[in-house]
Amino acid sequence: MSEEIENIQFELTNELVEQVEHLIEQKDDKELQPLLKEFHYADIAEILDELDLEDAVYVIKLLDSETTSDILMELDEDIREKVLKNLSSKEIAEEIEELDTDDAADIIAELPENRQLEVISQIEDQEHKAEITELLTYDEDTAGGLMAKELVKVYETWTVAGCMRRIRGQAKDVTRVHSIYVVDKQDRLIGRLSLKDLITAKSEQKIAEISNSNVDSVNVHDDAEDVAKVMQKYDLEAIPVVDEDMVLLGRITIDDIVDVIKEEADKDYQMAAGITQDVEADDSIFELTKARLPWLVLGLFGGLGSVFIMKGFENVMETVPSLFFYTPLIAAMAGNVGVQSSAIIVQGIANDNVKGSIVHRLLKEIGLSLINGLALAILVILFGFIIQQEFIESLAISVSMMSVIVVAALVGTFVPIILDKRGIDPAIATGPFITTSNDILGIYLFFVLSGLIIGF
């Protein structure tokens, strides 16, 4: 055994990319192949993400499909789509043969519909083909859409020795064996055991004697996010997927769940920042505009709404002009408080820890915003002293600001709760949506309350 230990710190350098580009230009496969062989497939994918499409396709066609199938899975989605366009159905089918069923189904699902059937028909391994076709029937946001068909399954009546023999066969197709699932004659899940249990058992023991009947499972139609929550909560690394009759259909592994968690978090974050769809910094200007403009237009309408409101108070300009100087401040406070409240609630809903009665939450939010509002109001009054503003004006501004903060906090808290109760993703209530409505509401309240205090 050689003692080389892979250093995990792969650094994608311009030199490396240029070297690869140069070798491709020269069509120097003899140099290129061993160079790329040195890298992990995830690293090669990073290199390909940087190449021109033509060069990327060149590399994919050069390397063997065992490596390129893994590379394909790691590529940026946009780039993968383009690469696949440049491969024949036969070539895609060859890649598919090398992939686990879950990845294979994901790749096929990304193809245009007319190509899907073409590619499937070219898959030679009939069992693989049937399994992939089955997986394609499930919604991608369900347990069925996440699961793979590869798993190790034994019957309760087998002996440990017989089991070991058969497992040697099954395990070849399964990259990582987390658990061995025990089924009855109708293929219904009735238990599990670990390889460790198997190794430490005596060879003549029956599987039924050593298996653990306490096995968690999810239904094939369960929501992917719920599966993620269950696996996180119970610290599971794999979970079997069953149908209504408990028949074992597949298994989901934690690495797929990591992706679900990451995507979910990214989506919520983007929603809070006012970005409507999944975009990356390196997407095209067109894609980015499509993701950003809608929220900005919403914000613009909100702003135009406040123009209207302020026009309505135009006559106050002569008597108390300073009120108009404070409108951006009021809008900012209403917006910030609203975003804070909604973010805490949205996260609480996502993590299932928003409990207790509505009245309690209402009182708490009012108390909290009164404390914050009071602290900020004192600062505004101090500021008024410094710029020698009329005291009654400072008082009017700070009192109405406090009220605006309370209202904004309540809107920020209860809009997500109401949306969630109606089955709408509460994350939509964070960011521009809450900011905009709080801006308008805040400015209106501000003028009305200031008017009551100052008397106009």
Q: Interface residues for its own copies in 75-94 (CB under 8 A)?
A: none
**Phi, psi for residue 39 in degrees, rounded to 5:** -95, 155
Residue from 88, 137, 213, 319 touching its own copies (CB under 8 A): that is 213
Given a contact cutoff of 8 angstroms between Cβ atoms, the answer to whether 59 and 36 are in contact is yes
- Only one of the segments 23-31, 114-122, 123-131, 269-277 lies at the binding site for its own copies (rule: CB under 8 A); that segment is 269-277
Contacting its own copies within 381-440 (CB under 8 A):
383, 387, 430-432, 435-436, 439
Q: Is 275 in the site for its own copies (CB under 8 A)?
A: yes
Contacting its own copies within 227-246 (CB under 8 A):
230, 232-235, 237, 246
Given a contact cutoff of 8 angstroms between Cβ atoms, the answer to whether 83 and 60 are in contact is yes
- Only one of the segments 107-115, 116-124, 127-135, 328-336 lies at the binding site for its own copies (rule: CB under 8 A); that segment is 328-336
Binding mask 42-81 for its own copies (x = CB under 8 A): x-------x-----------------------x-------
Q: Which residues have CB under 8 Å from 177's CB, separation 6+?
A: 152, 167, 171, 195
Q: Which residues have CB under 8 Å from 161's CB, separation 6+?
A: 203, 204
Q: How far is CA 142 from CA 41, 116, 146, 244, 416, in A?
A: 28, 21, 7, 15, 24
Q: Is 195 in the site for its own copies (CB under 8 A)?
A: yes
Beta bridge partners, 152, equal: 180
- Only one of the segments 61-69, 80-88, 324-332, 447-455 lies at the binding site for its own copies (rule: CB under 8 A); that segment is 324-332
Distance, in Å, from the CA atom of 444 to the CA atom of 454, rounded to the nearest integer, reads 15
Q: Is 101 in the site for its own copies (CB under 8 A)?
A: no
**Phi, psi for residue 253 in degrees, rounded to 5:** -105, 160
Q: Is 35 in the site for its own copies (CB under 8 A)?
A: no
Residue from 269, 385, 390, 424 touching its own copies (CB under 8 A): that is 269
Q: Is 288 in the site for its own copies (CB under 8 A)?
A: yes
Q: How far is CA 339 from CA 79, 223, 334, 443, in A?
A: 35, 28, 9, 17
Residue from 59, 92, 120, 218 touching its own copies (CB under 8 A): that is 218
Residue from 84, 93, 339, 402 touching its own copies (CB under 8 A): that is 339
Q: How far is CA 226 from CA 116, 223, 239, 271, 391, in A?
A: 29, 5, 12, 20, 56
Beta bridge partners, 159, equal: 206
Distance, in Å, from the CA atom of 400 to the CA atom of 406, rounded to the nearest integer, reads 10
Residue from 65, 69, 142, 217 touching its own copies (CB under 8 A): that is 217
Given a contact cutoff of 8 angstroms between Cβ atoms, the answer to whether 93 and 119 are in contact is yes
Contacting its own copies within 362-381 (CB under 8 A):
364, 367-368, 371-372, 375-376, 379-380
To its own copies, the closest distance from the beta carbon of 200 in angstroms equals 5
To its own copies, the closest distance from the beta carbon of 111 in angstroms equals 23
State the DSSP code for 88.
-
To its own copies, the closest distance from the beta carbon of 295 in angstroms equals 7
Give the tokens for residue 83.
């690469």
Q: Is 304 in the site for its own copies (CB under 8 A)?
A: yes
How many residues line the site for its own copies (CB under 8 A)?
130
- Only one of the segments 24-32, 57-65, 118-126, 266-274 lies at the binding site for its own copies (rule: CB under 8 A); that segment is 266-274
